[in-house]
């Protein structure tokens, strides 16, 4: 389901969490929150993947809009689950929800295709607000995670020194660079449209082109590459 439809319908959410108590609290929160529908709740990543593959074998795609994925899971870990789900269902939004705030895990999750990274201590109201932003093309990041990425950006700028015109090498147009820059700033699609004075559909067209040229599948992945290669 694309972002245009997500904005007018309840988000169909799946949770993947091995902690029974936290899994139950998420289920309660989502069942009572307006704009969300809890489609399924899995204890392991393997169970979620098996359900998705079973739907594929039946000629269907899972009726999921958003997956909340823990990192530390029995069996296949959460980051590998993100990678497998995004490789088969690039339009599916997958947000990591974990206790870990280590830089290497954040970057690994984003490079695997995660559309956002939130920590479990996020208050329930804030969590719902962040997840609701996914419908508008947002890439939810907890404050500490955002700070980590900004610190990494500053480190990369200092390490790399002079500007390298990677954007031109990748064939990004000036407008695509502007759109990518807005995404790096954390803007949602509608805010990008208002900021640049273009339509929402035009923003989506530019984002799809950016994804293709950068060979990425999510906003978070595009932002990660933009930061690493100084594309904006």
**What is the number of other CB atoms lying within 10 angstroms of the CB of residue 157?**
12
Residue 76 C-beta-side C-alpha neighbours within 13 Å: 17
Concatenated DSSP letters of 53-74:
HHHHHTT-----SEEEE-SS-S
CATH number of 50's domain:
3.40.50.2300
CA-CA distances (angstroms) from residue 176 to 114, 155, 197?
21, 25, 14
CATH code of the domain containing 220: 1.10.10.10
φ/ψ of 121, rounded to 5, equals -80, 0
Q: Both 140 and 176 in a single domain?
A: no
Q: What is the pTM of this model?
A: 0.67
pLDDT for 58 equals 92
Angle at 11 between CA 60 and CA 220, to 5 degrees: 90
Are residues 135 and 187 both part of a single domain?
no
On whether residue 152 sits in a domain, the answer given is no
Range of the domain at 202: 162-229
Q: What is the pLDDT of residue 7?
A: 47
- pLDDT computed for residue 20 by the predictor: 96
Place of tokens 């296949």: 76
Last residue of a domain, one of 103, 122, 146: 146
Query: 209 and 118: one domain?
Result: no
Q: How would you write the pLDDT of the chain (232 residues) with one tens digit per residue?
A: 454 444 457 899 999 999 999 999 999 999 999 999 999 999 999 999 999 999 999 998 899 999 999 999 999 999 999 999 988 998 899 999 999 888 788 888 888 888 888 999 989 998 998 888 776 677 777 766 666 665 665 555 555 544 445 666 788 898 998 998 888 777 878 889 999 999 989 999 999 999 999 888 777 778 777 877 777 7
Q: Are residues 25 and 133 in the same domain?
A: yes
Task: Please identify, among 146, 176, 210, the residue that sits at the C-terminal boundary of a domain.
Answer: 146
pLDDT score of 15: 98
pLDDT (0 to 100) of residue 128: 92
Q: Is 196 in a helix, a strand, or coil?
A: helix
């Amino acid at each position: 389901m694309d972002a245009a439809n997500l904005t007018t319908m309840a988000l169909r959410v799946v949770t993947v969490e091995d902690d029974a108590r936290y899994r139950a609290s998420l289920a309660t929160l989502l069942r009572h929150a307006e704009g969300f529908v809890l489609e399924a709740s899995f204890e392991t990543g393997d169970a979620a993947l098996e359900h998705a593959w079973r739907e594929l074998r039946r000629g269907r795609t899972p009726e999921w809009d958003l997956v909340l994925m823990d990192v530390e899971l029995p069996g296949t870990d959460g980051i590998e689950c993100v990678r497998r789900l995004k490789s088969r269902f690039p339009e599916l939004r997958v947000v990591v929800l974990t206790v870990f705030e280590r830089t290497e895990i954040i970057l690994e999750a984003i490079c695997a295709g995660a559309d956002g990274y939130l920590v479990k201590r996020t208050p329930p109201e804030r969590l719902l607000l962040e997840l609701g932003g996914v419908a508008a093309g947002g890439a939810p990041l907890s404050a500490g995670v955002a700070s980590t990425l900004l610190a990494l950006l500053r480190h990369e700028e200092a390490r790399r020194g002079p500007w390298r015109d990677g954007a031109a090498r990748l064939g990004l147009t000036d407008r695509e660079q502007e759109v990518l820059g807005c995404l790096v700033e954390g803007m949602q699609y509608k805010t990008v449209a208002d900021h640049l004075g273009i339509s929402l559909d035009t923003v989506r067209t530019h984002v799809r082109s950016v994804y293709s040229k950068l060979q990425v599948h999510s906003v978070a992945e595009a932002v990660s590459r933009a930061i690493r290669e100084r594309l904006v």
